Amino acid sequence: MIELMDIIEEIESKEIFGHSLSVWILSLIILIIGIFLAKFFSHLAWKWSRKRLDRHGQDTFKKIIYYFIVIIFVMMALNNLGIEFSGLLVAGGVLGIVLGFASQTVVSNLISGVFMYFDKPLKIGDTVAIENVEGVVTEIDILSTRIRTWDGNLVRIPNEKLFNSVIENKVSNEIRRVEVVVGIAYKEEVEHAINVIKKVVEDHRYVIVEPAPLIFVNELGDSSVNLTIKVWAPNDYAYQTQIELLKLIKQALDKEGIEIPFPQRDIWIRKK
């Protein structure tokens, strides 16, 4: 018993940065308890929201609960060390200004993330185009959104910027329009070519009947009469439909002897 009291007195007598070792140990214990409780209650929040919210809502709700509890216990630990949290925000001169701007950005991103949750312009797994970034949404956080581009890069966009940007969601509807342009020679009969293409379109497994496909002359080009084919297909097969139509239309036109021209130039040699 005497040895235990001696150990306690020794701990109390040691100081680190103006505080006794016991104060630091207590602050550390507070942080550990806070992290444990944050994980426990955030897990409960996730289980509670599993049948009430979508995946994005579950992750957002879970993270809000986690960080809220962690922040409370960090403040308690700092208070145990005699550090006022409010003083940290306003003191420090240049550091205080930097923290002020940083906190504004964080709060702005957080609020934008909340607004985006209710607006729901996109969700995880959607194919989107945002300004010069195009790809698949992989993660929607409370502060930022991550997109995996087609070339494999991971792009992080702050929610504030995302909220103020034009978002093109390519999979928000179940069907999507596919467009193909094919050129035929000027000597060919346009109606015959349209009927050949129409048969290919009607026979394609993914082309939707309603809205009806459109096939029309779009342009009289330098070397060809350009026909535009616009069809609707299920979103999951839109890209595949476009690729297959190009191949099948080419084969059908070749079979009918309809020429698909390439640019040609006539060269005149002037004789003196």
Residue range 7-26, pLDDT digits in tens: 445 545 555 555 566 677 77
Lowest-confidence segment of 110-114, 121-125, 260-264 by average pLDDT: 110-114
User: Taking each helix axis from N to C terminus, what angle separates 238-255 and 190-203, rounded to the nearest 10 degrees?
Assistant: 130
104 or 61, higher pLDDT = 61
Task: Read off the DSSP letter of residue 237.
Answer: G
Task: Read off the DSSP letter of residue 207.
Answer: -
Tokens of 203: 């026979």
Q: Cα dist. 272→247, 266, 268 in Å? A: 49, 19, 13
Instruction: Summarize pLDDT for 193-249 with one digit per residue, the tens.
Output: 999 999 999 999 899 988 889 999 998 988 889 999 999 998 888 889 999 999 999
- Give me the domains of the chain, ranges plus CATH numbers: 2-83 (1.10.287), 120-169 (2.30.30.60), 175-255 (3.30.70.100)
Lowest-confidence segment of 59-68, 173-182, 223-232 by average pLDDT: 59-68
Alpha-helical segments (H) within the chain: 2-13, 21-49, 55-80, 85-90, 94-119, 159-163, 190-203, 238-255
Instruction: Summarize pLDDT for 117-148 with one digit per residue, the tens.
Output: 666 778 888 888 888 888 888 888 777 888 89
Q: How far is CA 183 from the centre of its chain?
A: 37
pLDDT, position 251? 93
> Long-range contacts: 261-268, Cβ < 8 Å, 24+?
261/183, 261/184, 261/185, 261/186, 261/223, 261/224, 262/223, 263/222, 263/223, 264/223
Q: What is the mean pLDDT of residues 182-192?
A: 90
**What element of type H or E holds 138?**
strand 133-140
